[in-house]
Structure 1
Amino acid sequence: MLSCCVTTILMLVAVAFFIVTERKGLGMLQLRQGPNKVSVKGIMQAVADGVKLFKKEFSFPFSCSKELFLLGPFVCFFCAYCLWLLFPSSIGYMSFELGLLFFLCISCFSVYGVFITGWVCDSRYSFLGAMRAVAQSISYEVFLSTALFLPLLLFGSFDFQIIREGYFSCVLIGQEILVLWLISILAETNRAPFDFVEGESELVAGYSVEYGGVGFALIALAEYSNIMFMSLLTGLLFFGGMMGNYFVGSMVLAFWMTILSYFIVWVRGVVPRFRYDLLMSLCWVILLPISLSLFSFMVILGL
């Protein structure tokens, strides 16, 4: 229990500084200054943002239900940090024999938080953002599940600890699976070029447009926590055989988690946004048939 609490607290701090890192990284990609006023090179911008958000007054739209208005961000935050119970730590690890199935269940349940957040505001813009998010998440969860089961056919286990201690790296023979998986996590986390949930040109901020202060902070922490967990999961699934002993393995896992998090930031800075109809067509017409074909092919090879 202590290990889970420590992991959650450390990830809250890491996510806060990752937001600042993304802002500085986007500034470098776009040839402009990122945060640079608070402390040395803007390092403490995360602390300043946190103090500002938690000190702001929490306002409610006139016609909304206050209980549901508070429930939406809490569900998003709760689901995001429940995933870190699966963190394969060497100290105090909680054993989940079906850990990856637990991951899929929590990912599916988090859609309710997004829907409640957008629907309860009584705003057309937030409701349209929520509808986009729900349709996109449900569509790409089907594809994500198929892409997830491809490396599991090679590992033969749903347990994160067994995957970490394995001596096989899926990336050695599954580069095309890695490409499919990276596309799926970009869409699942609502990141560019699939960030139709925000849609600055038409929806301003999507389902979170009416939230400020603590509510906005919880939604942002949930989103960036999901990004970091997806980076961790990618490192485990595709580079799990490179972990070695626990100390070296932790360093390698942190390295891949950092590289993949920076990759997601880089994609946001250089790739333009898709059209929404092309996003859904990409999932159902192209990516899902490819992943199902690869899955059938690997099952046949295994038999």
Structure 2
Amino acid sequence: MDFEDMLWTVLGTGLVLLMLVDVFRTLLYPHGSGPLGRAIMRGFWLVSRKLRGRGSFIAAPLAMAAVIGAWAGLAAIGWALLYLPHLTDGFVYGAGVPLRADFAEALYISMVTLSTVGFGDIVATDPVLRLVVALQAVTGFGLLTATVTWILQTFPALNRRRALAHQLTLFREAAGPAGVLDMEPSHATGLLEAIAGNVATVTIDLLAFHETYYFREIEQRGSLPATVAYAHELASQAQRSESSELQFAGRMLHAALDGLAEVLRGKFGHSGATSSDVFDSYELHHRHLRGGKPDTT
């Protein structure tokens, strides 16, 4: 193997390892996200902030598709570079299949193997290559199932966030300006404790499913950035109550909101000395406030 072949082998190995690390950190590593996936999601997010209308709401789903495409591309190109130095001596070609030793041929072998199609027109004969081909086929099947699982896990997390936003909206409409102070303390306590539990769940979702942060909501009623400030207001009201049970529920909700603000500050770069400041920044980024007014386009 000469220097050029060694170079292709090292480069191909690096691309495959980058794909594996990114998939592991995005799908398997708790509270993590891969550097490539995070960069793609953030890039689409920044572009979406320049868009007006409904186009900005499909940026996150498109970004997820781009991440999956990047994983598949890295795998296909990486393994193609591993095969390239061994064309054509390391493979046996079927009848009528032309002998070629270029990158396009290596990419064809890699894509057929990655997709587990297995046409059988070009088969590895070298023992090491046979193991590499088998490993790629297993990786391709694993990548397919992992990405489907990723999608199926992401949207329930989004629904939990939307449900919390709707819960806060309904609470605000039903309670009126006085909030919990005009309610029977034991009933208000139960409601605030339920909201605190839902806030904690959404916080865990943001840690476990980093990509859900970049989804914008079409309806403001289902937008947590547009409603989370009201939860902070309810917690403050409860702590001014004369009921010790309601005060405890208020402190509990405050603690849950502080945890959410810490995640937004530490993981997504929102600034603010207090949780209220962080939530204002969160609302600004997701509702595209201009001149103090929400963007309704």
TM-score by length of 1: 0.31
TM-score by length of 2: 0.31
Bigger relative CO (Cα 8 Å, ≥ 6 apart): 1
CA radius of gyration, larger in: 2
